Amino acid sequence: MSVIVGRALPDARDGLKPVHRRILYAMHELGLTHDRPFRKCARVVGEVLGKYHPHGDTAVYDALVRMAQDFSMRSPLIEGHGNFGSVDNDPPAAMRYTESRLQALTTNALLQDIESETVDFASNFDGSQQEPTVLPARVPQLLLNGSSGIAVGMATNIPPHNLGELIDGLVAMIHNPEITNAQLMQYIHGPDFPTGATILGTSGIRDAYMTGRGSITMRGVANIETIEHRGRPDREAIIITELPYQTNKAALIEKIAELVNDKRIEGIADIRDESDRDGMRIVIELKRDAYPRVVLNNLYKQTPIQANFGANMLALVNGEPQILTIGQFLQVFLDFRIEAITRRTRYELRKAEERDHILQGLLIALSHLDQIIATIRHAADAPTAKGELITTYGLSEGQADAILQMQLRRLTALEADKIRNEHEDLQVQIADLQDILAKRERILEIIESEVTSLRERFATPRRTLITHAEGDLGDTDLIANEKAIILLTKQGYIKRMPVNTFEAQHRATRGKAAAKVKDDDTVEHFLTCCDHDSVLFFSDRGVVYCLRAYQIPVGSRTSRGTPIVQMLPIPREEKITSIVPVDEFSSEEYLVMLTKGGNIKKTALEAFSNIRSNGLIAISLEEGDQLRWVRRAKVEDSILVGSRHGMAIHFRCTHDQLRPLGRATRGVKSMKLKKGDELVGMDILPAAILETFAAASEVEAEEIEAPDNADNIEVDTESEETTEVSETASVGPWVLVITMGGYGKRVPVAQFRLQNRAGQGLMATKFKNRKTKDQLATLHIVNNDDEIMMVTNRGIIIRQATNAISIQSRSATGVRVQRLDEDDAITGVAIVPPDAEGTEVAEVVEGAEGAEVE
């Protein structure tokens, strides 16, 4: 019981254990305030040992040192001068060398009014001195600096908090006594550790605040940077600038080195501690073939760069250990503060009344001055004079003593006026103090004004960043859900750009540069989505990774982007072959996957709702095969697959044609290819469109067939459309066919009849000039109000409305959709859907026809 109450656990009122309270009170008695010179710590320790704390000097000095460490206390209570240890766990210098004094916050917020009978005092260990049982704290110090201690059968571990947030929460409780813990969390967001770092998610904070127990995950701040070496190639490095609370930096570096030597972490070439007085900097240099994100994730998993703070909010309330919620902490403190101000007011009222009583006696003496002087002169001695004054004028003993001790200079008229004015001021003060004692709201106003002034003087910005985990109020609640373009180059550079970076242009214009690619790099993947979407990245070896769209860094039109290896743990030899944006992981949707070898399979979309940080197997591949295209589809939809030589097959997505399979399966054959041909793309035809056009007559399909001499017709930007369009075909949707040579057309979907899977398919297009070796780049299902964005392998993007591209038959060659430089080719096409509100697509830029755009 002695250990529980008298040593290991803090008091919920001032947040101090006895040893800390005795150190602060001893320093206060020595006059070691923040505006006085430092004194040797040995002097302070001796004072504490001799008067209040009969234990070892090491225990006292260690407690004093911790109260001066800015990496241990969020708001240190003692100002140290000398070596007080470091975050590397270096020991402090001996107490004969170091000096200390109280911080301004300690004097103003913990020890103010201690002489005004605000707290109880008790005898020390030998009865020779009085010591306070608690300090009259003006701020909730227990939450401000936290506490940890191991008693008998119980332990406490309370994290530190931000002073400004605590005071905001306290003021909110004063204004609303019925405030809940959840409402308090709007003011007190979570712990604020002196070493900064980040807290992952708010569920642990919520548990700690609601129940008194919770595990709070802390993670150091680490960034991936490129370090330049003179005469050597640049290398990636992980730079750690902040560590979790109570993490030993030297031990951490030693632990990392040990893991590297044991080959439990691969990819680290060198570790350096470049920390100085300006801040922490640990440099972990990586090998050239290392994957920075993988190494960093391993460091989080295997080292104290990520650690848990097990909050156990246990404190003494009325001498009994209790687990408290955040609201109970503040309520206990508020009740204590109300009691302290009540006691202080009573003390000030008593002193004011005693002083006024004396002044009333002096005023009586001044009104009968001559008689009182005569009485005193004729008295034999002082006791006789005192007795006659009490008897004659009805004075008290105190008043009589004050009259006898009054100096002659106070008999002047000026001094008499001062006494009368002081008496009148005291009457006003006494009435005000009595009003404070009578009205609880006056006491609460005093508390609020005191903490507000402390907040203005001592509050500092939050150091610990709280990141929101799944289920919390996350970044998506704070980021506008704008449309965006995502580009990924062949060499692995990724970036995100707003769709409005590119306004719509006429067909057959040159477009705009979208990426500053190297000579040997090309734009490989290109899609549009919304910033809140989850973006699934499928690799050639059948693994899927996930990022939220807003997590992809925004880049300008001319920037290269960010290496994707810094964002996803992708091995160097692995390539991203398909990117799918998902706004909701619905149980009614499937992902249809098509491999280079022609295997196709359908897997439920919800199977990919929880993708691990190191990826998830999406498809099992035969040796030499690669996963190439992934699209979202429903059971009622149909699938259109195109080949490089201009063939296309159209079959249903129903379970009889394509049964759903699990993730780790291979799939079935999609299309029979001729020698030298290969697949180039796949798109999904929605069920509603399929029903509309499945009933289209063969006659209607014949109406739009090109004339016999279609191959000889010159089709250019300036040429008129050569085909007539039926009423149904003019409504859409269409199959948009784009060739690598810059030609395109819209073909009514009715012309692609449904077939069984694994057939040869139908001709989708004829090529303008066989000598140019033009090939099919892609095919897409488009609607009348869609816009498309095309990108070339040199990073040129053009955005245009689909209705600018003419409707032609399967056997036509199309019209020019983009003018290409020599050796350039279209590599990707993305659909820009209309706004959700139904607003019109961007206006076509006037005069852009044929103009060269920079």
Shared domain check, 697 and 573: yes
The pLDDT assigned to 378 comes to 87
Average pLDDT, integer, range 614-637: 91
CATH code for position 281: 3.30.1360.40
CB atoms within 10 A of CB 829: 21
Question: What is the band of 171 on the pLDDT scale with cuts at 50, 70, 90?
Answer: very high
Q: Where are the alpha helices (DSSP H) in 566-627?
A: none
Q: Can you give the pTM of this predicted structure?
A: 0.63
Select which of 25, 52, 61, 97 is catalytic.
Answer: 97
CA–CA separation, 675 and 213 (whole Å): 68
Q: Is residue 320 part of a domain?
A: no
CA–CA separation, 495 and 515 (whole Å): 9
Q: Is residue 153 part of a domain?
A: no
Task: Give the model confidence (pLDDT) of 474-488 as tens digits.
Answer: 455 556 778 888 988
Q: How many CA atoms lie within 13 A of 216 on its CB side?
A: 32
Shared domain check, 649 and 508: yes
Shared domain check, 419 and 552: no
The answer to which of 100-104, 213-217, 218-222, 699-703 has the lowest mean pLDDT is 699-703
The pLDDT assigned to 517 comes to 58
Which of 103, 133, 163 is a domain's end point? 133
The pLDDT assigned to 770 comes to 63
Which of 117, 133, 149 is a domain's end point? 133
Shared domain check, 402 and 289: no
What percent of the chain has a predicted confidence (pLDDT) above 90?
Answer: 55
Beta strands 627-633 and 590-595, pairing class: antiparallel
Shared domain check, 486 and 430: no
Task: Give the model confidence (pLDDT) of 302-315 as tens digits.
Answer: 999 999 999 999 99
Shared domain check, 634 and 604: yes
Q: Is residue 192 part of a domain?
A: no
3-state secondary structure of 96: coil
Shared domain check, 498 and 405: no
Shared domain check, 607 and 518: yes
Shared domain check, 440 and 347: yes
Which of 425, 457, 489 is a domain's end point? 457
The pLDDT assigned to 727 comes to 45
Q: Is residue 407 part of a domain?
A: yes
The pLDDT assigned to 477 comes to 55
Average pLDDT, integer, range 19-48: 96
CATH code for position 85: 3.90.199.10
The CA angle 142-145-148, to the nearest 5 degrees, is: 75
Average pLDDT, integer, range 503-532: 70
Picking from 302, 328, 334, the residue whose alpha carbon sits closest to that of residue 313 is 328
Task: Decide: 305 and 299 in contact? Cβ < 8 Å.
Answer: yes
Q: Helices 440-458 and 413-438, interaxial angle, to 10°?
A: 100
Token readout for 551 is: 């997590």
Average pLDDT, integer, range 7-25: 94
The answer to which of 167-176, 338-347, 477-486, 652-661 has the lowest mean pLDDT is 477-486
CATH code for position 417: 1.10.268.10
**Positive or negative torsion for Cα 705, 709, 712, 718:** negative
Question: What is the band of 704 on the pLDDT scale with cuts at 50, 70, 90?
Answer: very low
Q: Is residue 256 part of a domain?
A: yes
Query: Which of the pair, 468 or 297, is modelled with greater confidence?
Result: 297
**Positive or negative torsion for Cα 723, 724, 729, 733:** positive
Q: Is residue 700 part of a domain?
A: yes
Q: Name the β-bridge partners of 236.
A: 226
Average pLDDT, integer, range 545-564: 86
The pLDDT assigned to 834 comes to 59
Average pLDDT of the chain is: 86
The pLDDT assigned to 179 comes to 92
Task: Give the model confidence (pLDDT) of 312-358 as tens digits.
Answer: 999 999 989 999 999 999 999 999 999 999 999 999 999 999 999 99
Shared domain check, 373 and 413: yes
Q: Is residue 204 part of a domain?
A: no
Q: Which domain holds residue 247?
A: 221-304
Shared domain check, 481 and 602: yes
Task: Give the model confidence (pLDDT) of 786-842 as tens digits.
Answer: 888 888 888 888 888 888 899 999 999 999 998 888 888 888 888 775 553 333 333
Picking from 135, 164, 138, 102, the residue whose alpha carbon sits closest to that of residue 457 is 164
CA–CA separation, 820 and 816 (whole Å): 10
97 among known catalytic residues = yes
Q: 609: left (phi > 0), else alpha (psi -120 to 50), else beta?
A: alpha
Q: How many CA atoms lie within 13 A of 400 on its CB side?
A: 18
Shared domain check, 749 and 645: yes
Q: What's the structural domain count of the chain?
A: 4
Task: Give the model confidence (pLDDT) of 82-136 as tens digits.
Answer: 999 999 999 999 999 999 999 999 999 999 999 999 999 999 999 999 999 999 9
CATH code for position 677: 2.120.10.90
Q: Is residue 55 part of a domain?
A: yes
The pLDDT assigned to 248 comes to 94
